[in-house]
């Protein structure tokens, strides 16, 4: 997990109202950037994803993150990490 990046998890919530507890529990964690998304957490019940914004300079505590989701009444199923992709630039001939 890279600092300052968002991590993605899947939880088993069915409706936006039900998922609010997930946001409430996760947004309390010290490594969450509450200035992004909605209190640091973006919820998409259609695809059942929770996106968490991580503060720059912080490393996420995955155990605390999993526990927060479980305390909200849901099971974390899968975690997705965005890895750095190298951008290769080639200069083209100028006319």
Tell me the pLDDT tens digit for each residue of 12-51.
Answer: 777 777 778 899 999 999 999 999 999 999 988 888 888 8
Q: For position 24, what pLDDT does the model report?
A: 94
pLDDT band at 83 (very low <50, low <70, confident <90, very high): low
Give the pair of three-digit tokens for residue 23: 């946001």
Does residue 87 register a pLDDT over 90? no
3 state SS for the chain: CCCCCEEEEECCCCCHHHHHHHHHHHHCCCCECCCCCECCEEEECCCCEEEEEECCCCCCCHHHHHHHHHHCCCCCCEEEECCCCCCCCCCCCCC
pLDDT of residue 10: 67
pLDDT the model gives residue 82: 61
What pLDDT, on the 0 to 100 scale, is given for residue 4?
Answer: 55
């Amino acid at each position: 997990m890279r600092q300052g990046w968002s991590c993605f998890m899947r939880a088993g919530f069915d409706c936006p109202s039900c998922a609010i507890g997930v946001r409430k529990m996760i947004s309390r964690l010290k490594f969450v950037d509450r200035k992004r998304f909605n209190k640091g957490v973006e919820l998409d019940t259609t695809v059942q994803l929770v996106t968490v914004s991580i503060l720059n300079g912080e490393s996420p505590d995955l155990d605390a993150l999993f526990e927060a989701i479980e305390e909200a009444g849901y099971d974390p199923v899968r975690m997705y990490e965005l890895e750095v992709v190298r951008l290769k630039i080639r200069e083209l001939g100028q006319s």
